[in-house]
Amino acid sequence: MEVDARCPRRLYWEYYYDGKGLQPVKINQHLAFGSAAHEAIADILEYCRDLDMLPNSEQVSMRVRAAQTTLRAEFDKAKGFQAATILEEGFDGEMIQVTDDQTWMVDHYCDLLEGLVVGWCLVRLPLLMQQYRVVQTEAEERLQLSPELMFLSRPDAIFERRTDGALVILSLKTVSQVNQMWLENFKTDQQTISEVLPIEARLGKEVAGVQIEGLTKGAQAVDWPKGAGHKHHASPLIWGYLKEEGGLDEDWQAKWEWKDEAGNNRRLGKGFNRQRISERYPGGIPEWISYLYQTENELLRAQFPSPPLISRSANELEEWQAQVKYRETEIGNALVHINGGAAGNVLAQVFPKHTTGCAYDAQFHSKCPCYSLCWGSQGADPIGCGEFQYRVPNHPEETTK
């Protein structure tokens, strides 16, 4: 549904082409990272569900290592990376510079994964566990919207509020930078509606709302090593500033610039250089996170934005169902003509191209993944061109008719 809202033609390519849908052969590092972060936190929440207690640092680290192994395997088996450098003015600053040696990218995302998961478990998980019990994690949900239409979803987790037993959905979101627009967007986000209905139908109980948990990666602004053209996310969870004062004395700082108590702008003096925490800080990223917790608590907490609980009215839920039923019926009828070889203008009418995000898609920090299908020659033979493969279903029981 979110893809349909962005571009109906992309929906067709990704979910309905040849009755299966398509996905690029090359991995998208942003999606792969998001999946790994979800995997680690889901495993941690399963521990919390089973024992109703917080995990210790070693239990968190064990699950981080497992997710890092999965992420490295995803990068290893992929035929390169989907996001290619865009050289046009205004776009290249948003892109990861891809070189022949891409080991740096894998290492960077593994660092970021550890920093975000360890940090979230330190500053956000205790607060959530005080307020909620974990009921389930990443379970398949389904809602029969009509005799012909089944809606499938997989919420990150379901919580039960300790004070009154109310149900709350947890939704994890990785984000490069947090601003007011990002926070406001969830007030109209479809997922905060669509995930509510299947749970209410299955459990026969109202969902009080959706709890958004942000994991901030930072802008891709760190060129490391300097001059290499390798753009890393500028997260204070994995980078610090070190001044070596001779012998074993080291002065570590988390911020290059800040405001003092009088509101004046301050910055570090000579001798401080940016360092990769996993390589230089004693004890690595977990110990650095502990240091931030003790000395830069506000900075640490800022990496994990959590807007107020989002609740939906009965009217919003009813309107969403009506929209989905109408649109899915329209799509189903169109696919009968398209798959039967009598497409005519049906593709253009039911799956029109939305051209505002073709050359630069903010979700992927690159061209739309279907750009070459719509505007190049690959659309004539997506599988044969070697750049696309049939889509792996998101849900075990998912089928396309």
Q: How confident is the model at residue 65 (pLDDT cuts 50, 70, 90)?
A: very high
Torsion sign across C-alpha atoms 271, 274, 280, 284: positive
Residue 106 pLDDT exceeds 60: yes
> Would you state the structure tokens that stand for residue 154, as one six-digit string?
């997989």
pLDDT score of 60: 98
Beta strands of 185-339 (E only): which ranges? Answer: 207-216, 220-223, 231-233, 239-244, 250-253, 257-259, 265-267, 273-276
pLDDT score for 79: 54
**pLDDT at residue 399 is higher than 80:** no
Average pLDDT of the residues in 156-170: 97
Q: Which residues pair with 276 in a beta bridge?
A: 239
Mean pLDDT of 77-92: 46
For the chain, the domains span 29-218+303-312, 236-302, 317-390
pLDDT of residue 340: 80
Pair 276, 238: CB distance under 8 Å? yes
- pTM for the complete prediction? 0.89
Rounded Cα gap, residues 139 and 156, in angstroms:
8
On the question of pLDDT at 93 being above 70, the answer is no
For residues 307-330, give the mean pLDDT: 94
**Residue-wise pLDDT tens digits, 9-43:** 999 999 999 999 999 988 888 889 999 999 999 99
The type of residue at 104 is: W
Q: What is the DSSP letter of 357?
A: G
pLDDT, mean over the chain: 89
**Distance from C-alpha of 37 to C-alpha of 52, rounded to nearest angstrom:** 21
- The DSSP element (H or E) to which 320 belongs, if any, is helix 314-339
Tens of pLDDT along 214-237?
A: 999 999 889 888 888 888 999 999
The pLDDT tens digits of the residues spanning 255-270 come to 999 998 889 999 998 9
Half-sphere exposure for 76 (CA within 13 Å, toward CB): 7
Q: Is the bond preceding residue 225 a cis peptide, omega within 30 degrees? A: yes
